[in-house]
Amino acid sequence: MKNLPRTLLFYFLLTNSIPVLAQENNFHAIENLAPNAPIEDLNFLSEYLQEATIVGAGEATHGTKDFFQMKHRIFKYLVTEHQFNVFAIEANYGNVLAINDYITKGIGDPYKLVSNIGFWTYSTFEVLELVKWMREYNANKQPEAQIHMYGLDIQNPIPIAKNLRIILERNSYELSNTDISTLMAFDDFFKMNNKERKALKVKFKKFKERYSKKITDNFQVPSNTEGLISHAFSSISQAFKWQKKNKLNMHHRDKEMALNIKWIIEQEKQGTKIFLWGHNSHISYRSYLFGASLGKHLGRFYGSNYYALGFTFSKGAFTAMDTERNILTSFNIRSQSLTDIGLILDKSPSPITFLDLSQLNRESSTYKELKQKVTTISIGSVYQKKYNYEFRQKLLKKYDGIIHFEATKPSKILQLSR
């Protein structure tokens, strides 16, 4: 066996370790995928999430139906069994404010709200079903017992400005013509040159000063609403800063999203437990692009109270933007690597497998195999067949646990005009 090439040796070790792996306590088969299925098959999660107050659930692509449905089930389990009360997503704060109004108050059409979440990646039937379930859960509960939804992303101030105006007017805040024109000017934010954007920033700062003075003098709103308004101002400032930064400076975006998680905890106060939805690259502990990921920041802030759960697959279909044709469509992919993670997990008793990494026995064959770099697929919102989307990495350093899918199906995109 010493004379075997390294990749073939790795393949031999993996394919001959399945019986040992299946006997380990932190290796679990997940029986159901449909969101309305009973959640008893997820009871094993309690063993690993006892300390967790933030669970980051990743995705290996932004367009996989199976990932989204499983996250729906896990969130439902955490809400009903572990008192999680916040759903935070890698989407725009302003757009999600409107969705939260539906979840907590029944305001608006959920189809239109999810269609306008800001990123096509989450304008899907799968996310719509989750939002409807959240409204159903909240329907007969007092405000203090309800679950809430927040957007973490910082890239687009337009929906924030629109929703800031709606919230202020709903609470009888008297907006001047200058205030209204300032907020409406954000509609052209991405058409502005640097000089125009700087001028808008000055106007917005003055608008914020006028609001702060009224809050001090005589304008009163409920503390929760005041917190939402205050964060809307902060989110617009984040967008100005992001526009000024190099747009490939993703670690700046991740740092700001981590600070937004901290704000949510302050806003929701004692007992807050957050389910975090984002791409694997954000929720993992490992830094990328010469800076810290969202997950790394959360690990620093909250230690073992943060649990990073990565999602992996070896073959299947997914939705992505075809940049060559500039259309959303579905693609198929299959790993060709002899070090693919599927060589461990595709032979498990279930097509969906959970494996906790944080408590692996260091003497086990599984630990020794995963201590080496294994290959996983990672795709964002765009896809070109000519590129390789397989990456070799040490999963033990990236996640506390993983859920692996033997095969996947593409997410179903909502149509904007129904």
Section 255-272 average pLDDT: 92
In a domain, 278, yes or no: no
Give pLDDT, residue 13: 43
- Which of 153, 159, 157 lies closest to 257 in space, CA to CA? 153
Q: Is the pLDDT of residue 77 over 90?
A: yes
Same domain, 321 and 373: yes
Q: Is the pLDDT of residue 280 over 50?
A: yes
In a domain, 99, yes or no: yes
Same domain, 75 and 126: no
Which range of residues forms the domain containing residue 113? 85-272
* 135-176 per-position pLDDT tens digit: 999 999 999 899 999 999 999 999 999 999 999 998 888 999
Q: pLDDT-based confidence at 269, cuts 50/70/90? A: confident
Same domain, 146 and 291: no
In a domain, 244, yes or no: yes
Work out the burial of residue 97: count CB atoms within 10 Å of its CB; fewer than 13 is exposed, 13-18 middle, 19 or more buried. buried
Cβ atoms of 321 and 383 closer than 8 Å = yes
Same domain, 30 and 126: no
Same domain, 132 and 233: yes
In a domain, 44, yes or no: yes
Task: Provide, rounded to the nearest whole percent, the portion of the chain with pLDDT above 90.
Answer: 71
* Least trusted range by pLDDT, from 235-244, 347-356, 381-390: 347-356
Q: pLDDT-based confidence at 252, cuts 50/70/90? A: confident
Cα 90 to chain center, whole Å? 4
Section 33-43 average pLDDT: 94
**CATH number (domain holding residue 362):** 3.40.1660.10
Q: pLDDT-based confidence at 6, cuts 50/70/90? A: very low
| Spatial separation of the C-alpha atoms in residues 262 and 298, rounded to whole Å | 9
Section 279-305 average pLDDT: 90
* Least trusted range by pLDDT, from 77-81, 113-117, 345-349: 345-349
Q: Is the pLDDT of residue 72 over 60?
A: yes
Contacts of 159 (CB under 8 A, 6+ apart): 92, 94, 95, 97, 98, 116, 118
Domain boundary residue, one of 272, 299, 318: 272
Give pLDDT, residue 16: 45
The two tokens of residue 232 are 């809307």
Domain boundary residue, one of 240, 272, 304: 272
Instruction: Please count the structural domains in the chain.
Output: 2
In a domain, 198, yes or no: yes
Give pLDDT, residue 271: 87
Domain boundary residue, one of 272, 305, 320: 272
In a domain, 18, yes or no: yes
The mean of the pLDDT values for the chain is 89
Same domain, 118 and 210: yes
- Which of 37, 72, 39, 45 lies closest to 354 in space, CA to CA? 45
> Length of the chain, please?
418
Same domain, 230 and 260: yes
In a domain, 311, yes or no: yes
Same domain, 60 and 104: no
Cβ atoms of 275 and 86 closer than 8 Å = yes
In a domain, 315, yes or no: yes
Same domain, 9 and 74: yes
Same domain, 113 and 247: yes
* Least trusted range by pLDDT, from 180-184, 242-246, 361-365, 387-391: 242-246
Q: Is the pLDDT of residue 310 over 70?
A: yes
Cβ atoms of 62 and 26 closer than 8 Å = no
Q: Is 196 helix (H, G, I), strand (E, B) or coil?
A: helix
Same domain, 294 and 340: yes
Same domain, 107 and 214: yes
